[in-house]
Structure 1
Amino acid sequence: MSKTVVDNKAANTVAAATIASKIVPWKIWARAGLDVLSCLAEIPSWLRLSHEIHHRNRIGSDFVGVNIATSSDPACDDKVLDYLQDLSIRQVRMDYSYCSQQGDAQRLLNRVLAEGLEVMLDLFPPKEEAAALRDDEQAQQRWREFLQQVFTDYAGQVSIFEIGSTPNRGKWSGFDGISYLHAWQIATEVAQGFNLTLAGPNISDFEPLYNFAYLKAMKRVDSVPVIHSDNLFVERVVQPEAYDHRVAGNWATRKLNLNLIKKARIIAEIGHQEGCEKTYCTYKCWTRKRLSRWTLDPEQKNADYLVRYLIIAAASGALDRVYWGPLICNRDGLVDCGDSSYPYVDNVSFYKEVRGQVADFKPTKAYTAFKYVSTLLRHITCVQGVSADNGINHFIFETEQGGEVHALWCLDRSALALTDIYSKAQLQSASFRTVYGTAPVQPPHMATEQPLLIEWPQQQSLRPSTDDIRTLDDTLSSTVVYHAHPGLQSVSVNTPQWLGVVAVADGQDAEATVEAYMPASMLAKPEISVLRDTRNRLWNIQLDEQAEEIQTVKLNRAKGIKKFTYRFMPSKGKRHWNNATEMLRRGINTPQPLAFFERHSNAGIEDNYYVCRFVPNAFSARDVFHAFNSGEQSYKGLDKEAFYTEIAGFVAKMHSCNIIHRDLSSGNLMMTKDEQGLIFYAIDIGRAVIDKSKVITNMQRGIDLKRICYKLNWVDREFFITAYQRHAGKEIKYWKSMLWSYDAKQGFKKTLKAKLKRKKRV
């Protein structure tokens, strides 16, 4: 055996003994208990940190970075570098483990280093090896050799070496408290022979007890990292600005005020207390799969949230850098790889590789938004920021050229007239940008959930103050649901006679459009056809005789007992508007809402109006059921099984979006047919209930199923429910009982009505 090998073994034995002397499990856990107690003592000081922005904050050119990986195809390397050049991003982060050496990741790493990019390299062992670091000397030796090789190859080239990955997510990374401390201690020992910047511990999500405990323990076994790293997710509260209710429950949400600003400050404060110089958010994304539960266009929502998150994070001054990630992935990447499969280990813990073929890569809307906002947030100073409890978010930035950029948006489903903040003169001198950096088709009238960037070439002397923003009407208390629909702006109306909203299409004059939809103007238009005139009145008009579009107007009138019960409810016009808006944002078709109007007082019982786009050539499920009940073999070119399967699929999709129609008779489900197939429209949706939080029950599903099946015989009901269960992916128990009881109820009502009619004739 050579002297070198003997010396190395001796050195490793000494190192292992040194580590063992510092990392004694029972001592670590005992100290961890003391750390928890000291952490509890720190919590009041953390909670005293402000959730608001009070100071100017200059944002450097390196604030935004991105996580990258590659595939076995070298062409993927070229594509990654092309994207980085297009995005003008110089700061990248890569995950690097044992399998990365001499593999695809090393090939990409060498490429990006050759291009002069600033690399943060996250080093960690495989999951099984990470767990073995706790007490396996051979695993510890393999980790040491891996670090020695990487540091030797890349010291002086890689800017930052991050040690470990998501140690608070052992099911992903394999780490626990002891094994991670072994990994950190070995890394700091090996790093002593090099001039390196180390980062850690890469805590996932907002779990400050882990940050505190790990940094304390890291300091005891050797030293804390220069850069404190944390993956500061807010996806669990969905919107970037929301207060986190997951920490202590809904009751404490407004007591703790844990929004993104405050959470970033707490994480940064923990690092600074232990001696870390900087705080990085090393991974942040939203998954389009999750967003698709709430919106028809998850790509647009992903872009909106990305811009909102980065602007708040930059304005907070708490984070020195945010790495977005991943760059390429079907589920949550800025670029869709075209492959819907997803790795067993979540990308946040090990972004190992890119799936899919290079030819299938497609930049998403979030990619374009990222390109714009990352360029915007370079050498710019945040001079004022408000993320207010009234749902309004407003940030002011000064550019190096002396200009000014205002970022403005509301929380989801709410909106604000721009004239509530700015004068008409200010708006006329401004230029507007969308989240993609493009000018809107026409100057906007409302601030919505989609961020609006307003630019002036020179700083404005009449900036709205933070108090001006905070004292505006609470947009969250508004009972109107707004949707930033492509090609339409929802303009609020408030006259002495009417409250309402009008949807103004791009290219239309807003004032003229609002005037055309006012009730007096609509009532003056010739009626093309009257669809219903009983308790409520429904008719078609054409507001613009030059256009082909026809509008359907519904006049809602309260009669009988409803004169009393509707007094305590929103007007039916508003209910139709809100339900239609929410259904469309969830991907459930209903005729496009165009306007609603109600009175200032007693809105529920006074005459109110709802206007939607008329759907030509539409037929109802009632027409379909009647045809097949009459013995026809097909209708509109489709047989009974095909129709019933499609209808059941639409109802199941509606329920999967937590929407219960509550009046889903066959006449209230319209459809059209074209070359692509059937297109469904739910109508008469004033009674619909849309649950934003809970999974709907079988009983709630039955409310719709018993109504839509009422006109079917029992054989067809069996087929329909079977098709529904297949689409819904769940069994509906006791569905026959629900339908029997509904049949009996309807039979009793018919009998009673017949008796009343006979009495009247007598």
Structure 2
Amino acid sequence: MKQPYIWDNYSDQPYPLKDKTYKKEMRKSQFGSLLKTFFVALVVLPISLILTPFVKRKQIDSSDFFCIGIDFEREPEATLEMVEELGVERVLVRFKLWEMEKLPLLKEFLLLCHGKKITLKILQDREHVEDEALLQRDLETVFSTLGEVVDIFEIGSTINRAKWGFFSVDEYSHFYKVAYDLKTSKYPNIKLIGSGVIDFEYHFTAHTLFNFCDYRYDGVSSLLYVDRRGAPENMQMGFTLLDKISLLTTMVWLSPKSAHELHITETNWPISGTAPYAPTSEYECVSEELYAAYMLRYHLLAFASQQVDSLSWHQLIAAGYGLVDNREGLRKRGAYEVYRYMVATLKNAEFLRLDIKRGHHILQCLLGNDELLQIHWSLQPKSIKNEDIFRPFSSSGEKIEGEFLEIGAEPIYIFIE
């Protein structure tokens, strides 16, 4: 990564572009593509919105749904131990194209992820966006080295933020097509997903899914953050998280460019008091307690949609937004145990229904031993009677006693024989 692009090692993302003249000139050069994005979205989004109620749910494999983002250079031995402890079957690892010299180290690490399905998120820099020969050479090296190890390659990320190197959908489409051409010509067995649009900016996604470029996705990736809206149930432009997922699924379903798979490959909440490690300002940050509750509720809502094939939490070890704080040793936050208990309880669960009444959410699942599980949380605190047939547990797996159960921001698990 070269100037004017600078990587921020604190928050694991590029710094905002400070050269405003360069940024303005590059956007101007891509005006034609930006115009296409506008007109494609003008047609696709209303049609998708109308057809959203008609898109059927799938039967999501819960064992494959949970995915944790990990850094192959950050405490690798401890990372592998915690991945086993968390019980996830899928991990997501980032790889920076401007650090090709680390590819052998990456392969060595991935081979230690015994039995895990691996999603490799390939991060771009401006050099690889502009130089097609360089991109083709390095992608071929990655595919030939890791094609037998990696389950899914996510090509590019955060394509609608200039600081990540793309200034238009056309630039991303040319970038992705290099990967797709390599797949069709030399590596037919690899699985490619894109386009990695961040946030609720589906006009960019629409353009990547409806165009005249000669390529196809094996699934669509989305960095569906909702942290700037606060709680995962909060609305944005009249859309809840479930609405956003349904609309995105409809576009995937309608597109001739993609298989009917949706992977949320990045989401989290920044944690208060962790600057400069938090990826946003303190205003968007939440306490560790809310972080754990929001994380669990996001997963429960996405799972209840039965439209998300996998959800990757970003990430395991990160001072500003991870399950583990690494500023002074390795401290497992409360969210770590919440995540572990969630995976242990739900990774073999069959979704039944989600009921929402006046902010009270009840997610019902059937477990492998024919036991019924209800998960309750409420946006307004309330109490329910603790029935004799209930076995209630906190979000971290602690037994709850008492005549009444308090339902609030932190979900509770109720097992029913």
TM over 0.5: yes
What pairs up with 1:40-79 in 2 under 5 angstroms?
40-48=42-50, 57-71=59-73, 76-79=75-78
Residue 405 (structure 1) aligned to one of 361, 373, 386: 373
Structure 1 or 2, whichever has the larger Rg, is 1
Q: CA RMSD in A?
A: 2.9
Instruction: Give 1:67 deviation, angstroms.
Output: 0.9
Report the secondary structure of 2:118's partner residue: strand
Between the aligned partners of 1:191 and 1:54, the Cα distance in structure 2 is: 30
Q: Please tell me whether the aligned partners of residues 195 and 208 of structure 2 are also in contact (alpha carbons under 8 angstroms).
A: yes
Report the secondary structure of 2:63's partner residue: coil
Which residue is 1:515 aligned to? Answer: none
Between the aligned partners of 1:418 and 1:386, the Cα distance in structure 2 is: 16
What pairs up with 1:103-118 in 2 under 5 angstroms?
103=102, 106-114=104-112, 115-118=114-117
> How many equivalent residue pairs?
379
| Structure 1 residues 387 and 292, CA gap change in structure 2 (3 angstroms) | farther
Which residue is 1:323 aligned to? Answer: 312
Residue 448 (structure 1) aligned to one of 408, 411, 415: 408
Amino acid at match of 1:37: F
Report the secondary structure of 2:101's partner residue: coil
Between the aligned partners of 1:372 and 1:52, the Cα distance in structure 2 is: 34
What pairs up with 1:154-169 in 2 under 5 angstroms?
154-169=146-161
Structure 1 residues 704-728: Cα deviation after superposition (integer angstroms, max 9, x where no partner): xxxxxxxxxxxxxxxxxxxxxxxxx
Q: Please tell me whether the aligned partners of residues 198 and 226 of structure 1 are also in contact (alpha carbons under 8 angstroms).
A: yes
Structure 1 residues 193-236: Cα deviation after superposition (integer angstroms, max 9, x where no partner): 0121101011111111111012223xx22212111000111112
Amino acid at match of 1:98: L
Instruction: Give 1:293 deviation, angstroms.
Output: 5.8
Amino acid at match of 1:261: L
Between the aligned partners of 2:359 and 2:221, the Cα distance in structure 1 is: 30
Which residue is 1:270 aligned to? Answer: 251
| Structure 1 residues 30 and 175, CA gap change in structure 2 (3 angstroms) | closer
Structure 1 residues 522-555: Cα deviation after superposition (integer angstroms, max 9, x where no partner): xxxxxxxxxxxxxxxxxxxxxxxxxxxxxxxxxx
Instruction: Give 1:431 deviation, angstroms.
Output: 0.6
TM, length-normalised to structure 1? 0.47
Amino acid at match of 2:73: S
Between the aligned partners of 2:364 and 2:49, the Cα distance in structure 1 is: 26
Which residue is 1:598 aligned to? Answer: none
Question: What runs of 5+ residues in structure 2 fail to find an aligned partner?
Answer: 1-26, 273-279
TM, length-normalised to structure 2? 0.83
Structure 1 residues 665-708: Cα deviation after superposition (integer angstroms, max 9, x where no partner): xxxxxxxxxxxxxxxxxxxxxxxxxxxxxxxxxxxxxxxxxxxx
Q: Select between 443-452 and 187-196 the one with higher mean Cα deviation.
A: 443-452
Between the aligned partners of 1:38 and 1:141, the Cα distance in structure 2 is: 30
Question: What runs of 5+ residues in structure 1 fail to find an aligned partner?
Answer: 1-24, 134-138, 248-252, 340-359, 458-762
Instruction: Give 1:179 deviation, angstroms.
Output: 2.5
Residue 382 (structure 2) aligned to one of 416, 426, 439: 416
Amino acid at match of 2:117: E
Between the aligned partners of 1:179 and 1:77, the Cα distance in structure 2 is: 34
Between the aligned partners of 2:128 and 2:247, the Cα distance in structure 1 is: 28
Instruction: Give 1:26 deviation, angstroms.
Output: 11
Residue 129 (structure 1) aligned to one of 127, 130, 133: 127
Report the secondary structure of 2:327's partner residue: coil
| Structure 1 residues 34 and 52, CA gap change in structure 2 (3 angstroms) | closer
Report the secondary structure of 1:327's partner residue: coil
Residue 392 (structure 2) aligned to one of 432, 450, 463: 432
Which residue is 1:87 aligned to? Answer: 86
Residue 196 (structure 2) aligned to one of 202, 207, 232: 202
| Structure 1 residues 50 and 221, CA gap change in structure 2 (3 angstroms) | closer
Structure possessing the higher relative contact order (Cα contacts under 8 Å, 6 or more residues apart): 2
Which residue is 2:206 aligned to? Answer: 212
Instruction: Give 1:142 deviation, angstroms.
Output: 1.2
Which residue is 1:39 aligned to? Answer: 41
Structure 1 residues 68-123: Cα deviation after superposition (integer angstroms, max 9, x where no partner): 11337xxx2111100100011121111112344332x6424422334232111122
Between the aligned partners of 2:350 and 2:330, the Cα distance in structure 1 is: 35
Amino acid at match of 1:87: L
Between the aligned partners of 1:415 and 1:54, the Cα distance in structure 2 is: 33
Q: Please tell me whether the aligned partners of residues 77 and 108 of structure 1 are also in contact (alpha carbons under 8 angstroms).
A: no
Residue 371 (structure 1) aligned to one of 315, 327, 340: 340
Report the secondary structure of 1:221's partner residue: coil
Q: Please tell me whether the aligned partners of residues 304 and 354 of structure 2 are also in contact (alpha carbons under 8 angstroms).
A: yes
Between the aligned partners of 2:298 and 2:93, the Cα distance in structure 1 is: 22
> Given the alignment of the two structures, is residue 302 of structure 1 paired with residue 291 of structure 2, yes or no?
yes
Q: Please tell me whether the aligned partners of residues 122 and 162 of structure 1 are also in contact (alpha carbons under 8 angstroms).
A: yes
Amino acid at match of 1:405: L
Between the aligned partners of 1:287 and 1:443, the Cα distance in structure 2 is: 36
Instruction: Give 1:447 deviation, angstroms.
Output: 0.9
Identity %: 21
Between the aligned partners of 1:177 and 1:44, the Cα distance in structure 2 is: 20
Structure 1 residues 386-417: Cα deviation after superposition (integer angstroms, max 9, x where no partner): 234x2111111111211111111111xx2112
Instruction: Give 1:161 deviation, angstroms.
Output: 1.1
Amino acid at match of 1:232: L
> Given the alignment of the two structures, is residue 260 of structure 1 paired with residue 241 of structure 2, yes or no?
yes
Between the aligned partners of 1:168 and 1:31, the Cα distance in structure 2 is: 12
Amino acid at match of 2:244: K
Which residue is 2:23 aligned to? Answer: none
| Structure 1 residues 56 and 153, CA gap change in structure 2 (3 angstroms) | closer
What pairs up with 1:229-268 in 2 under 5 angstroms?
229-244=221-236, 247=237, 253=238, 258-268=239-249
Instruction: Give 1:292 deviation, angstroms.
Output: 7.3
| Structure 1 residues 108 and 363, CA gap change in structure 2 (3 angstroms) | farther
Amino acid at match of 1:399: L
Instruction: Give 1:51 deviation, angstroms.
Output: 8.5
Amino acid at match of 2:157: S
Residue 334 (structure 1) aligned to one of 313, 318, 323: 323
Between the aligned partners of 1:407 and 1:370, the Cα distance in structure 2 is: 14
Q: Please tell me whether the aligned partners of residues 279 and 318 of structure 1 are also in contact (alpha carbons under 8 angstroms).
A: yes
Amino acid at match of 2:268: C
| Structure 1 residues 199 and 50, CA gap change in structure 2 (3 angstroms) | closer
Amino acid at match of 2:320: R
| Structure 1 residues 35 and 125, CA gap change in structure 2 (3 angstroms) | closer
